[in-house]
């Protein structure tokens, strides 16, 4: 078995830098708007905070998306990403983080530490609204994590 990573450019997320929560939202928003169930995406970033990949990790149900850190970190490792941002949508439009969202984030932080990839943020995006929330801004992800 052989695996080869080929770097290619993409117009989908082009040469932009993700330096704020708002820019991260703008990157994920086209993929997570108007969904009828929860979708979870991950974007990998290089040291300049430029996207190295965008990956759909999970398609869930109307109220949950099941993802494990291994599935999130695999493309990040393959793409030599130094950090990641995850985002998922809430079909209800309510962007309040659930207990499960917070626990998932804490578990992902620990997995990221193990492979020395920084979790920059976890966004929750309302599917039928322009609302989003950041678990970093809410204090669930600290600067040193």
Q: Residue 144 has what pLDDT? A: 60
Give the CATH fold of the 21-134 domain.
Cytidine Deaminase; domain 2 (3.40.140)
Q: Residue 47 has what pLDDT? A: 94
Which residue bears the tokens 């990641």?
A: 84
Q: Tell me the whole-structure pTM to 2 decimals.
A: 0.88
Categorise residue 111: left if φ over 0, alpha if ψ from -120 to 50, beta otherwise.
alpha
Q: Where do the structural domains in the chain lie, given as residue ranges?
A: 21-134
Distance CA 91, CA 58 (A): 14
Q: Which DSSP state fits 52?
A: E
pLDDT in tens, the chain (145 residues): 776 666 655 545 655 899 999 999 999 999 998 899 999 999 999 999 999 999 999 998 888 888 999 999 999 999 999 999 999 999 999 999 999 999 999 999 999 999 999 999 999 999 888 899 999 999 999 866 5
């Amino acid at each position: 078995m052989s695996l080869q990573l080929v770097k290619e450019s993409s117009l989908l997320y082009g040469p932009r830098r993700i330096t704020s929560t708002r820019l991260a939202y703008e990157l994920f928003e086209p993929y997570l708007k108007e969904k009828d169930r929860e979708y979870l995406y991950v974007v990998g970033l290089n040291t300049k905070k430029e996207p190295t990949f965008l990956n759909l990790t999970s398609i869930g149900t109307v109220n949950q998306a099941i993802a494990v850190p291994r599935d999130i970190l695999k493309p990040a490792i393959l793409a030599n990403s130094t950090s990641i941002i995850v985002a998922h949508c809430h079909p209800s439009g309510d962007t309040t983080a659930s207990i499960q969202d917070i626990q998932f984030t804490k578990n992902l932080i620990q997995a990221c530490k193990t492979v020395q990839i920084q979790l920059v943020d976890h966004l929750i995006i309302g599917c039928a609204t322009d609302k989003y929330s950041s678990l970093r801004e809410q204090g669930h992800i600290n600067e040193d994590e």
